[in-house]
Amino acid sequence: MKVLLTGGCGYIGSHVAVVLMSAGHEVVIVDDLSNSHRDVVGRIADIAGQLPVFYQGDVGDVALVRDVIRRHQIDSVIHLAGFKSVGESVQLPLKYYQNNVCGTLGLLQAMEAESVPRLVFSSSATIYGDPQYLPVDEAHPQRVINAYGRSKLHIEGMLQDISASRPSLGVVCLRYFNPVGAHGSGLIGEYPRGTPNNLMPYVVQVASGEREVLNVFGGDYPTPDGTGVRDYIHVMDLAEGHLAALNFLSSNSGWHAFNLGTGRGFSVLEMIRAFEKESGHTVPYRITARREGDVACSYADVQAAARGLNWKATRALEDMCSSAWRFQSRLSTGGRSPAD
């Protein structure tokens, strides 16, 4: 297929690009580089053996996107471009609605004008809010508590409406749990700008000596060791989930949503121990107060993706930790980071 991959220079997008290209699909990236670096295009090429086509631009720019669709005869879109910091979204909600919701609106207008029949959208498990039961399946009630989550929910709603009005359109919303790790080459991975918000990049930076100590947010949750439990999924498994979604859309239309997770939860302390073992470095930590808005435990029901997409996460926690460390080690020895 000829795939427009928005946000393809980002953490998840770069891995999706590699997986799609390795499976023989043509990939055209549109990314405004607001949270990534152009170098990533070359790194994708180093892994996949060919350069993806790259346009620097805003996914909400209807004229640009229409031109890209026409020029490359795009038949499928995988839409990952967006902002993703929960904390920032609480401070600057309009920034999130503008970029995530309005950006998607522009993309959808361009897709409709050019009659593109397939879309895969990166949604998030954050739309489920505090789990009312576990594992969390796709029918779980949706209760967002921040502007980031609401932007994802708005987009899912927009996609449902559009799909109802255009029955030939196929839409898959992939609700990611907690993507971690990196490509085995260590060439692409997650390198957040500024202080990491998420656990794994923070752990990696503490292990490498870039930061002194990890704050573990809460030691009194009703979980086996008192720390928060999440469903961490290897980013390469997640990327392969996008390939499975594209295959699904080659024979299905309508609106669909699937969780992408492993179905298994690990606590913060389990993650620290696993990372220490794989990296050979200690991760000093201290238990601090709970972080506002955090839930005790969340992990996915993965049956729908197994049945519908014929996809399952296969990579182990050890691989998530060792690949994240390999990427960090290459950054430390190789100078500039992809997000500089």
- Cβ 317 vs Cβ 246: under 8 Å: no
**Region of 18-26, 197-205, 253-261, 300-308 interacting with ligand UDP (CB under 6 A):** 197-205
Min dist CB 280 to ligand UDP, Å, is 21
223 counts as binding ligand UDP under rule CB under 6 A: no
Which two structure tokens, joined as six digits, stand for 86? Answer: 């929960």
234 counts as binding ligand UDP under rule CB under 6 A: no
Residue least distant from ligand NAD (Cβ): 10
- Cβ 198 vs Cβ 192: under 8 Å: yes
Instruction: Give the contact letters, 136-175, x = binds to ligand UDP (CB under 6 A), - = no.
Output: ----------------------------------------
- Cβ 118 vs Cβ 105: under 8 Å: no
Q: Which is nearer to ligand UDP, 66 or 230 (CB)?
A: 230
Q: Which is nearer to ligand NAD, 198 or 253 (CB)?
A: 198
Q: Which is nearer to ligand UDP, 39 or 270 (CB)?
A: 270
109 counts as binding ligand UDP under rule CB under 6 A: no
Task: Select the residue interacting with ligand UDP from 26, 112, 294, 319 (CB under 6 A).
Answer: 294
Is residue 148 annotated as part of the catalytic site, yes or no?
A: yes
User: How are beta strands 229-230 and 266-267 bridged, if at all?
Assistant: antiparallel
Tracing tokens 């990491």 back to the chain, one arrives at 196
Alpha-carbon span 334 to 13, nearest angstrom: 22
Say whether 326 sits in a helix, a strand or coil: helix
Q: Which is nearer to ligand NAD, 32 or 75 (CB)?
A: 32
Give me the catalytic one of 148, 202, 232, 299: 148
Residue type, 328: Q
178 counts as binding ligand UDP under rule CB under 6 A: yes
198 counts as binding ligand UDP under rule CB under 6 A: yes
Strand partners, 26: 2
Selection from 7, 55, 58 nearest residue 35 by Cα: 7
Burial grade of 340 (CB within 10 A; 0-12, 13-18, 19 or more) = exposed
- Answer with the entry of ligand UDP, ligand NAD, none that 216 interacts with (C-beta below 5 to 8 A by kind): ligand UDP
Residues within window 258-287 making contact with ligand UDP, judged by CB under 6 A:
268
230 counts as binding ligand UDP under rule CB under 6 A: yes
Return all residues near 258 (Cβ < 8 A) that are at least 6 apart: 138, 172, 173, 174, 175, 241, 245, 304, 305, 308, 309
Say whether 31 sits in a helix, a strand or coil: strand
The tally of CA atoms less than 13 A away on the side-chain side of residue 228 is: 23
Alpha-carbon span 298 to 288, nearest angstrom: 20
Min dist CB 156 to ligand NAD, Å, is 12
Tracing tokens 């080690």 back to the chain, one arrives at 329
Query: Can you list the positions of beta strands (E) in 105-169?
Result: 118-124
- Answer with the entry of ligand UDP, ligand NAD, none that 124 interacts with (C-beta below 5 to 8 A by kind): ligand NAD
- Answer with the entry of ligand UDP, ligand NAD, none that 187 interacts with (C-beta below 5 to 8 A by kind): none
Residues engaged in binding ligand UDP (CB under 6 A) = 178, 197-199, 202, 214-217, 228, 230, 268, 291, 294
Residues with catalytic function: 148
